[in-house]
A and B are shown apart, each in its own frame.
Chain A
Amino acid sequence: MKRFSVGLLVVVSGLLLAGSTAWSQAERRFSVKVTVAEISDTAGKIDPRAARLDRNLRQKFKYNSLKVIEERRLQLGLDEVGSVALPGGRMFRVQPLDVGERGLLMAVGWEGEVMMDMRAPSNHLLVIGGPAHAGGQLVVSIEPHYPSD
């Protein structure tokens, strides 16, 4: 009888532990910083808010000004969709799908331009750009931030 009780306790504890882990994963929140910017050949300033974006872009592209149009910090749970309206009325969407050792798997969509799934560790910078906008090119960067397990 005693052995049965101990076994039952172990099973119940295991179930509770598994349940709480699954629950905490589902309840986890991720901060995703979305920056909408425009790069242009026209002489101008580099917005200091986009210093990191500029540092990475400048290695590959030539431009004279970088203007931040919008900066948003989305707080999202798994499977929750965060949307940012882009100039011209199109939507940019981010949806955390899964988190693991290799980072946060996100579905990213720029309406009418690109849809992608990307896994990125916390603080990784994803830059999507290219579409023409107001004499320059539109750039959207996203940076997921979340504490590791």
Chain B
Amino acid sequence: METQQRDLNAYHDGELNGLRRWMFERRLRRSPRLRAELQALERLTRCIQTSDPEPASVDVWDAIALRLPAIDAQSDALRRGAGARPTLAGADWRVAYFRPLAAVAVAAALALVLYLGVMQGGAPPVPGMIRWLDTGGRSVMVLEDQGDATIVWLLEDGASEGGSGEAV
């Protein structure tokens, strides 16, 4: 985990080269979580770079103190309103109790669907299957009906549609 974080930072800073960069980009393309972390890091960097630091206000107490009674009154009103209406608080333990059971039921249903799909209705084996392809936006032609061969042809830009995507 630490290595991944280190690689993420190094990649973000442009310090990963060669094989390590390639392997990290592969992980990045497969992991939405890692992509989200990288985006968060980029946002943070942008934020730091573009932020215009304002001098801290020396005395903000007056502004806060003026708002306190209004906030207290709002909280009281919410509490009173909540007391008058039926709440879900009583049902919370039931939700918590049934949640694991529901998860088990969902998992069992998924397992059954997968079993039926694979064992009874599964697709016949295909000679060669491209599961994932990324050309960085470049146009590509995939010819998978060649029997014992699969041809991936990179086209000149603008020749046809392309990019990245998942296949069966």
Contacts and interface: CB of A to CB of B under 8 A. Distances in A.
Nearest to A132: B156
Contacts of B133: 114-117
B146 interface: yes
Given A60-B143, A111-B22, A119 B131 contact: yes
B22 A118 contact: no
B107 interface: no
Given A113-B135, A124-B150, A126-B149, A93 B22 contact: yes
B117 interface: no
Contact of A103 (B128, B136, B140, B153): B128
Given A81-B19, A109-B26, A115-B26, A121 B127 contact: yes
Given A113-B138, A115-B134, A118-B130, A130 B22 contact: no
Given A102-B126, A124-B127, A118 B150 contact: yes
A66 interface: no
Interface residues of B, number: 31
Interface in B146-168: 146, 148-155
B2 to A, nearest CB: 20
Nearest to A109: B22
A interface SS class: strand
B125 A102 contact: yes
A97 B26 CA distance: 12
Contacts of A81: 19, 23
A116 B136 CA distance: 11
B129 A118 contact: yes
Given A83-B19, A124-B148, 11 more contacts: A56-B146, A91-B18, A91-B22, A101-B125, A103-B128, A107-B26, A111-B22, A113-B154, A120-B129, A125-B149, A126-B128
Interface of B: 18-19, 22-23, 25-26, 29, 125-136, 138, 140, 143, 146, 148-155
